[in-house]
Structure 1
Amino acid sequence: MLSFQVGQVVSNDRPAAGPGPAAPGSESESVCVDNSWFLLPQLVAGSFTGSFTGSFPRSSFLSLRSESRSRMSAPRLNLEALSALSGCDVQPTTGPSQLSPQDFVNIVALKEFYKQQGFKQLEYPSLGTLSLQDLDTQDLYSSPGALTGGTPSAGPEDGSKATIRINPEDFFHPQYDYDFTSIKDGDKAFLRGDERYLRPCGWNRLGLRVTQRYEGGDSWLGTGKDAWPVSYHGQNMDGSLGIILTRGESAGEEPEFLDAAAASLVSGGTRGRGVYSTPDVATAEAHCKSFKSKVDGKTYKVVLQNRLNPEKRRRCQREDVWLVYVPMGHSHLQTRAVVQEAIRPYGLLLKEA
């Protein structure tokens, strides 16, 4: 046990609805010092400058300290993971990040969606034309048609990657990192927004800086009834994972959606129009991107951990597949708005392959 001088530790187990900073998933350990709550990573990183008496397991401190040093020594590994997910060349900058975490998940989701539709390029504000072709993997989709007028455009096809400048300081949120690599939940049950939360055991999560970034506060990121359920986004997740069918919803809510589902059953096709994700990290892992790091030579798997707006989510025939439906005829701007209203990222998951 480790002891600290001055003050008093009241508890090192912050209740889910208790005081203190709202941590994504409330999975970080914390201590209460003179009625003020501090996460253990803050103590390790030195963001708490006072001292206090009390104790907590030495193994927790050493594990967090080791993890903190590992994060500090491999910031480029995190950017390599972003590069692998986005298909872009993500480079560090000391200035403002070119994209926010929300922009990033927009790009990942929109690239997958438009690949399903058979396109090769995507126009995104501040970045211009992005290739939908993965340079290191075989294209899984059919040849595209021409695109014009405010939709993803058919630009140069030289296969080059767009460069994205990211400042790790304003993109990542180390306070909310969490190491699940040695955790096994077994029969333990967790809920987020009245939906079962399958934690990403076996993975290391890098927190993304998303608190106080959205209207309405951070309740979507909490653990209460107003929280959004957790979903995981890998790569090449499309309608082949499950025929589009709603469960427990009125047929009159979205007739176009149900017509599309019926058409897919009649035609034998299974791909639906929208963005797919899963509440089960094991399903995401089966479809995730992997990359070989230039930092340490190891191969890693990478997945995005998101919260999904329950009002925008549709269920598929498979229980472990969720869909954010994009109606036929939506413009590119409308499609981007659907994604932005439905999916909010909060973690980047890494795992050695």
Structure 2
Amino acid sequence: MMDPGLLLEALSVLSGCNVESTSGPSQLSPQDFINVVALRQFYKQEGLKELDYPSLGTMSLQDQDLYQTPPSLPEVVEEPSLRTTIKINLEDFFHPNFNYDFTNVKDGDKQFLRGNERYVRPCGWNRAAIRVVGHYGEGDGWLGTGTDAWPVSYHGHNMDGSLGIILKHKGNPDERPDFQDAAAACLVADDTQGRGVYSTPDVKTAEKFCKIFSSKVDGKKYKVVLQNRINPKNRIECQRQNVWVVYIPEGRNPAQTRAIVQESLRPYGLLLKAV
């Protein structure tokens, strides 16, 4: 297992909160954690200043102004007083048996599949596995390698609506009535942006939009990315290659928005790369 202090720093950078260790129950499950990460970016994109989340209360989004998008990939610097504190039990949150160090792995022409789609493994990164086995009522098929598995998705935290317009819908458009209007708007407005949460099947694309931080544990700088599985029924391809969006229609309240994210993205790895 990676150094616990380094893992806490990485979780703090992704969530915009002060993540601290506890021997008691975690305030957030892994699914709640990715909900917070995704929703903070989405609501910031929507121009909101605060995010309310069950068990955490109201979180300020103002500290997000201190992050800038690549290519400069600036070091993360935040004012601690603006941050919500989250208590995480690392033994419950991480699953070291499934850790995998891809730092020196080179796949070359090797092909891997997840859910019958190409899986680009995170070569060059060190993965701390997140404990999600048995956490979902329908079983763990979504996490496997078979045809019923969900494809792999990477979340670089600075990925947002500036990445491009919706190109086409995967899944049943009838399940999302507002999709037709959004897609039609894209045909007449070049600057139309898909409203939702962005990710990518390509870790190199995610790396361009990730965060970088200086660790107080070892003095090194690290890039951090989340590795997820994405529900193929809730994913829309964007005009820009290798970009997906989980579309959130206008008019959805916070509970409905949270439910869309929860039904669409499931985390299973925290990726770190020394700069």
TM score, norm. by length of structure 1 = 0.71
Partner of 2:254: 332
Aligned to 1:132: 61
Matched, 1:160 2:89: no
> How far off is 1:255 after superposition?
4.8
Q: Which residue of 1 aligns with 2:125?
A: 203
CA deviations over 1:72-131 (Å, ceiling 9, x no partner): xx2110000000000000011111111111000000011111111110110000101112
Cα distance in 1 for residues equivalent to 2:205 and 2:252: 29
Secondary structure (helix, strand or coil) at the match of 1:330 reads: coil
C-alpha distance after superposition, 1:150-208 (max 9, x if no partner): xxxxxxxx961000001111011000100000001111000000110000000000000
Does 2:251 align with 1:344? no
Report the equivalent of 1:263: 185
Q: Counterpart of 2:168 in 1: which secondary structure? A: coil
- Cα distance in 2 between the residues matched to 1:248 and 1:217: 23
Q: Secondary structure at the match of 1:134?
A: helix
1:224 counterpart SS class: coil
Q: Is contact 1:240-1:270 (8 Å) kept?
A: no
Q: CA offset at residue 249 of structure 1? A: 6.5
2:250 aligned with 1:321, yes or no? Answer: no
Identity of aligned residues (%): 66
Q: Tell me which residue corresponds to 1:109.
A: 38
Aligned residues: 265
- Which residue of structure 2 aligns with residue 86 of structure 1? 15
8 Å contact from structure 2 (residues 170, 234) kept in 1: no
Classify 1:122/1:218 alpha carbon distance in 2 versus 1 (closer, same or farther; 3 Å).
same
The CA distance in 1 between the partners of 2:172 and 2:131, in whole Å, is 37
Structure 2 residue aligned with 1:233: 155
Unaligned regions of 5+ residues in structure 1, if any?
1-67, 141-157
CA distance in 2, matches of 1:289, 1:332: 26
- Distance change (3 Å), C-alpha of 1:252 and 1:171: closer
Give the Cα–Cα distance (whole angstroms) in 2 for the partners of residues 96 and 252 of structure 1: 40
Larger radius of gyration: 1
- How far does residue 317 in structure 1 lie from its aligned partner after superposition? 1.6
| Equivalent-residue separation in structure 2 for 1:300 and 1:116 (angstroms) | 25
* Paired residue type of 1:79: L
Unaligned runs of 5+ in 2: 70-79
In the alignment, is the contact (CA less than 8 A) between 2:170 and 2:237 conserved in 1?
Answer: no
1:270, CA displacement in angstroms? 3.7
Aligned partner of residue 197 in structure 2, secondary structure: strand
Partner of 1:123: 52
Query: Which residue number in structure 1 is paired with residue 218 of structure 2?
Result: 296
Q: What letter matches 2:200 in structure 1?
A: T
RMSD: 1.9
Which amino acid letter does the alignment assign opposite residue 47 of structure 2?
Answer: G
TM-score normalised to structure 2 length? 0.91
Contact 2:186/2:192 (8 A) holds in 1: yes
In the TM superposition, what whole-angstrom CA distance separates every residue of 1:306-341 from its partner, at most 9, and x where no partner exists? 000111111112230111111111110000000001
Q: Secondary structure at the match of 1:335?
A: helix
CA distance in 2 between counterparts of 1:319 and 1:169 reads 37
Query: Are the counterparts in 1 of residues 101 and 126 from structure 2 also a CA contact under 8 Å?
Result: yes
In the aligned structure 1, how far is the partner of 2:64 from the partner of 2:49?
A: 12
The equivalent residue for 1:191 is: 113
Q: How does 1:29-40 map to 2 (within 5 A)?
A: none
Contact 1:101 1:171 in 2 (8 A): yes
Question: After TM superposition, what 4+ stretches of structure 1 lie above 3 angstroms from structure 2?
Answer: 247-255
CA distance in 2, matches of 1:207, 1:86: 17
- Residue 212 of structure 1 aligns with an amino acid whose one-letter code is G
Q: Equivalents in 1 of 2:169, 2:233: separation in Å? A: 14
